[in-house]
Amino acid sequence: MHSIWSDTINFPTFEQLKKDIRTDVLIIGGGIAGILCAYMLEQSSVNYVLVEADTLCSGITKNTTAKITSQHGLIYHKMLKRFGAEKTHMYLAANESALAEFRKFCQSIDCDFETKNAYVYSLGNSRKIEKELDALQQIGFSAQYTENLLLPFSVAGAVKFENQAQFHPLKFLSKIVEGLHVYEHTKVRELSKNTAITEHGKITASKIIVATHFPILNKHGSYFLKMYQHRSYEIALENAPDVNGMYVDEAEKGMSFRNYNHLLLIGGGDHRTGKKGGNWKELSQFAKKYYPDSKEKYRWATQDCMTLDSIPYIGQYSQNTPNLYVATGFNKWGMTSSMAAAMILRDMVLEKENPYAPVFSPSRTMLRPQLAINAFEATASLLTPTPKRCPHMGCALKWNPQEHSWDCPCHGSRFTEKGELIDNPATDDLKK
């Protein structure tokens, strides 16, 4: 199943690394975060190399809904309570800056960039909407309340952000990668202090950026405790209306909407990886009920890394790794988060202070309720007797009948029916 993005673009290809090389900065991971990091370093005249285990954008990036927005659910009310006004405003400013950077880049790139309003709606709790608007007012951002949406059901209320954007991510990235120093089909099998070992060559680097969706190095940072993965599903409908905006439900298992050309994209059916959820069945039933004359043109699924506090981890990989950096945990908002990550990590590599870096620090407190849930899920899976075990940390794999894959409920690794690796943090196929 191909997403609408991967079905409508031919992406550039790059050669495999077959020798030992040296570079100032090594970027591991060829999704949007890694590519934008490489682009930023290229613009700053830094010596770098990007390596990708498969091909560029062959993982999560090709399955995004491609919304470029600083509106990430009803996050600002929660942030204000947890972190205070300064860091809440810092998070907003980082994402607004990322949006502005996309807008600047896309002026010269044909990638179907469109300015759109974004909405977070609630089906039955207008008080949540009011609290979010109050939080935004406290940090000086102008948002609007509305109940009138171009959706086929009524809502209790919605928060409206004006002048956000949407685009075709692979059209954008296919131009960005031109001229970058990239090696494809170059899997990092071992990572030590300043050296990455691949199948056909060794890379020595002064600094290393890990942009592999879920970090591949377990012995630092405790990312296997700090994150879990979450699957969501998407369909694209012909003969469905233009909703003229980007919409997402504030509820964890709610739906999202946006248009691309003549198609309506509907997302939902969410669940923790390795658990049961509504998947495409839920979306198809919704489309049949509300858009009975529509026809399904595409369907695909994606997977997101979810952090303990809904804020990405961007910066030094851990307190004990001064020249190792990470960008992960984008919590379903990978477009603006990837651009923010690229700007922050560029400045860190250049040893420049970045005004947004503190709020994203990977070394911030782990004492959040989600930590106990993650630990419980991992323990339960480790104690489950089954012959199919994840090579990442030994958790029991669950069969996913909708996508015909073996999925890990601990950290989200996925494998084909034959045991071939689909999604990390695992780095190897299942043992036969």
Q: What is the pLDDT of residues 150-168, one digit of tens each?
A: 999 999 999 999 999 999 9
The tens digit of pLDDT for each residue in 281-298 reads 999 999 999 999 999 999
pLDDT at residue 192 in the model = 85
- Which residues are 396's β-sheet partners? 389
pLDDT of residue 412: 85
Question: Does the pLDDT at position 432 exceed 70?
Answer: no
Cα dihedral sign, 18-325-372-87: negative
Start-to-end C-alpha separation, the chain: 26
Residues near 43 by beta carbon (within 8 Å), at least 6 away in sequence: none
pLDDT at 287: 97
Angle at the Cα of 407 from the Cα atoms of 401 and 408, rounded to 5 degrees = 150
Q: What is the pLDDT of residues 210-224, one digit of tens each?
A: 999 999 888 888 999
Report the percent of the chain where pLDDT is more than 90. 78
The model's pLDDT over 199-213, given as tens digits with 9 standing for 90+, comes to 999 999 999 999 999
DSSP state for residue 429 in the 8-state scheme: P
What is the DSSP-derived secondary structure letter of residue 160?
E
- Residue 317: how many CB atoms within 10 A of its CB? 23
| Closest to 246 in 3D by CA, of 70, 55, 29 | 70
65 neighbors 265 (Cβ within 8 angstroms): yes
Residue type, 153: F
Q: What integer is the mean pLDDT of 402-413? A: 87
- CA-CA distance, 105 to 174, in Å (whole number)? 13
pLDDT greater than 90 at residue 143: yes
Q: What are the sequence ranges of the domains in the chain? A: 369-423
Across 7-35, average pLDDT: 95
369-423 belongs to which homologous superfamily? Rieske [2Fe-2S] iron-sulphur domain (2.102.10.10)
Asked if pLDDT for residue 238 goes beyond 80, the answer is: yes
How far are the Cα atoms of 42, 187, 220, 390, 412 from residue 393, in angstroms, in the given order?
36, 19, 14, 6, 11
pLDDT in tens, 66-118: 999 999 999 999 999 999 999 999 999 999 999 999 999 999 999 999 999 99
The answer to whether 185 touches 55, Cβ cutoff 8 Å, is yes
Give the model's pLDDT for residue 424.
84
Helix (H) or strand (E) holding 28: strand 21-28
The residue assigned the tokens 């069969």 is 399
Contact 120, 248 (CB under 8 A): yes
**What are the φ/ψ torsions at residue 431 (nearest 5 degrees)?**
-75, 140
DSSP string, 65-100: --EE-S--SSHHHHHHHHH-HHHHHHHHHHHHHHHH
Using CA atoms, how far residue 194 sits from 23, 188, 278, 321, 341, in Å, is: 10, 13, 44, 11, 21
What integer pLDDT is reported at residue 61 of this predicted model? 96
Average pLDDT, the chain: 94
Give tens-digit pLDDT for 305-348: 999 999 999 999 999 999 999 999 999 999 999 999 999 999 99
pLDDT in tens, 179-192: 999 999 999 999 98
The pLDDT confidence band at residue 50, using thresholds 50, 70 and 90, is very high
C-beta separation of 20 from 202 below 8 A: yes
Per the document, the length of the chain is: 432
Of the listed ranges 10-24, 94-108, 122-136, 391-405, the least confidently predicted one is 391-405
d(CA 139, CA 143): 11
H or E element that contains 195 = strand 195-198
Helix axes 32-43, 169-176, angle to 10 degrees: 40
Residue 129 is predicted with a pLDDT of 97
